[in-house]
Structure 1
């Protein structure tokens, strides 16, 4: 029986949920720099959130090395 590393999967899902544009915050917003909980999005905010997602995922999984073995 082999151990499976669930760390990258858990981190990816959590970051995807937290960094969905418009869910918790939207950066940049339509009228301000940041809006919280407005449930709307734009192309530029999707781009900004995906760059933040990639940076945090890289830091957490590769640099810090979060591992969850089952």
Structure 2
């Protein structure tokens, strides 16, 4: 049995936290911009820190587990 929880959480967070897809912190003209499909080095760093924090909370603190059986 494999634990697919961390894989699923990481994939969903990666898609949702891609800079410029849903939102971008910091934006080019504002602090937060939504759906602009642009990115910068600063926003990549901020989104990586948010991603690391959320993946740590979901996988270690909460302990999300999804088991797949054959």
Q: Is there any run of 5+ residues in structure 1 with no aligned partner, and where?
A: none
- Look up the match of 1:47: 45
Give deviations 1:21-69, integer Å, cap 9, x for gaps: 0000000001100000000000000000000000000000000000000
Please say if 1:24 is aligned against 2:22: yes
User: How do residues 1-70 of structure 1 correspond to structure 2 at under 5 angstroms?
Assistant: 3-70=1-68
Name the TM-score, length of structure 2 as normaliser. Answer: 0.96
Query: How many residue pairs get matched?
Result: 68
Distance 1:60 1:29 in 2: 27
Q: Is there any run of 5+ residues in structure 2 with no aligned partner, and where?
A: none
Kindly report structure 1 stretches of 4+ aligned residues shifted beyond 4 Å.
Answer: none
Name the TM-score, length of structure 1 as normaliser. Answer: 0.96
